[in-house]
Amino acid sequence: MKVIKRDGRLQEFDLSRIRTSIDRASDDANQPLNESDIENLAKSIEKGLKNYQKDSIHSDIIQKFVLRELEKQGFKIVAEYYNQGKV
């Protein structure tokens, strides 16, 4: 799957980038998540994106998936920091 960046560039989807951005947002929020939490979030986000069934997806849509999953799993403050940083 390709990601359409904000500037229009195409980039290969990389789940590790989502893991890293969630980890950074949780650190910024002073609510560090453990590896298991981050992995569970990443897998849920990846599953949701695969269900999207598109060859390419805009980065803003990925951000919405991440925010929704963070909130769904009870990490509301981390979601707020993730959204502020748009990491």
Alpha-carbon distances of 57 from 29, 50, 63, rounded to whole Å: 28, 10, 11
Q: Which tens digit of pLDDT belongs to each residue from 61-80?
A: 999 999 999 999 999 999 99
Please state, rounded to an integer, the average pLDDT across all residues of the chain: 90
Whole-angstrom Cα distance, residue 35 to residue 59?
Answer: 24
pLDDT of residue 25: 95
Whole-angstrom Cα distance, residue 4 to residue 11?
Answer: 7
Name the range with the highest mean pLDDT among 4-8, 53-57, 76-80: 76-80
Prediction pTM value: 0.85
Of 2, 21, 4, residue with least CA distance to 12: 2
DSSP state of 12: E
**87 pLDDT exceeds 60?**
no
